[in-house]
Structures are given as C-alpha cells and as structure tokens.
Amino acid sequence: MAYLFGGHGSPKAQKKFLRNRFKSIRDRLPRRTRINLSRRVCLRLAEYIGQFGEDGRTLRILAYHAVGSELDLQRLIGFKFKKPIQWLLPYCPDKNIISIRYYDPNRSLEKDALGIPAPDDQSLLAEEDQIDLALVPGICFDRKGQRLGYGAGFYDRLLPKLTEATVIGATFEVQIFNGVMPVEENDVQLHGLVCEKGWIRIPGKM
C-alpha cells in the first residue's frame, strides 16, 4: 500500500521508513520542549484517570520509563490521586521476553536486559489480565490507533494479553502520522491516543 507521501514497498520497508522519519522528528525536539509537552500530556492523563473506573476501587495502571526522547510519564506517576493506584512497569529479563512488575515509586529501579530502568527482582510480577489501563510509548501513531514501535515486537506480543485493559498511546503531536499506517497481522489497534493538544478516541474503542 502506498503512503500519502508517496512511499511504496513491503509493510516492513514502509515501517522502516516511518520509524526513521518520526524518530528523527522526535529527537529534534529540544529537551525543554519535551519536558513541557510531557507535563501537558500528564495533566490530561491525570484528569482522565481521575474519572476512570469505579470509585474506591484500586486501579492497576501500566506505564513505562521514558528512554531517550520519549514522552516522560514521571510527573503522572508522582501525581497524588484521590483513588488508590497501583503502578506497573515493563520488565525484560532477556532480549526476547517482556513481563510486567509492580512498581513502588519509593524504590529505585534497576536496568533490565535492554538497559531500561525497571522494577528489581524483588518486585512482584503482575497478571496481564488484571491491568485496567495501559499507557504505551511509540515512535509514531496514526489516527486509527495503529502504533509503530522500535521493531522488536515487545508490545505486539504484550498488548493482546491485556484483555481487560484500555490501551492508550502517549505521544507528542509531532509523532502522529496523518497518512495510512502499514498494518501487519500481529499489529494491535489501540483504544485511543493522547498528546499535548488533546485526545484522539478511536470509534468503537473508547
């Protein structure tokens, strides 16, 4: 399928093109800009979480630790919510497996097999079907809820297991692709996207 900007080739080749293009765009955002935009997204997410789920019930929320120029969710994790929240983070014990562990913001993180800060070996593993809300990073997203990551397939394997979760892509507006994203069999459509400008809610998903 050709892109609106004229790309041709296999889905993998198209994804590589998009991955390089949008990572470069994101990397060029000044650090101060990324910090300010991340704060705006965190405020939107905090408002959403405040209205999400049943009153009094503990929410289990999968977040992520920002790497490089990714949108940073630390301000959200440190927010004082009126409802009980259990935070979770991905953990890769090796370069082929992704699991989820409970995260205690008062404890330090240790780098996993990918070099990404994650809960340590003493942290409890979480059951994927117990997660209520998942906030996922990506290199780019389209307006139909398709996500493009780094190409290792970790989230492609994880997201189908989150059977009870609402899955939201957390992104800067510059990462939203207005064309047609190449889709392969293992790609998972998200329920919605949030950026500094607002929400993109996928019809029939949110």
Domain around 149 = 11-201
For 95-150, how does the pLDDT look when each residue is reduced to its tens digit (9 = 90+)? 888 999 999 888 889 999 999 999 988 899 999 999 999 999 999 999 999 999 99
CATH number at residue 81: 3.40.50.10420
Confirm whether 1 is domain-assigned. no
- The count of structural domains within the chain is 1
| Res. 12: pLDDT tops 90 | no
Average pLDDT over the chain, rounded to whole? 91
Confirm whether 55 is domain-assigned. yes
Confirm whether 186 is domain-assigned. yes
Report yes or no: 91 and 63 within 8 Å, Cβ to Cβ.
Answer: no
Instruction: Please tell me the predicted confidence (pLDDT) of residue 8.
Output: 62
Confirm whether 57 is domain-assigned. yes
Distant-in-sequence, close-in-space partners of 41: CB < 8 Å, separation ≥ 6: 71, 170, 171, 172, 194, 195, 196
What are phi and psi for residue 191, nearest 5 degrees?
-85, -25
Degrees, nearest 5: CA angle 47-52-57: 125
Instruction: Please tell me the predicted confidence (pLDDT) of residue 5.
Output: 45
Confirm whether 161 is domain-assigned. yes
In angstroms, rounded to a whole number, what is the distance separating the alpha carbons of residues 123 and 104? 8
Confirm whether 97 is domain-assigned. yes
In angstroms, rounded to a whole number, what is the distance separating the alpha carbons of residues 176 and 86? 29
Instruction: Please tell me the predicted confidence (pLDDT) of residue 109.
Output: 93
Look-up: residue for tokens 């607002």? 198
User: What's at 167, amino acid-wise?
Assistant: V
Coil vs helix vs strand at 137: coil
Confirm whether 73 is domain-assigned. yes
In angstroms, rounded to a whole number, what is the distance separating the alpha carbons of residues 6 and 36? 33
Report yes or no: 26 and 139 within 8 Å, Cβ to Cβ.
Answer: yes
| Res. 172: pLDDT tops 90 | yes
Output the CA torsion sign for 24, 160, 133, 123: negative
Looking at the chain, the whole-number percentage of residues with pLDDT higher than 70 is 96
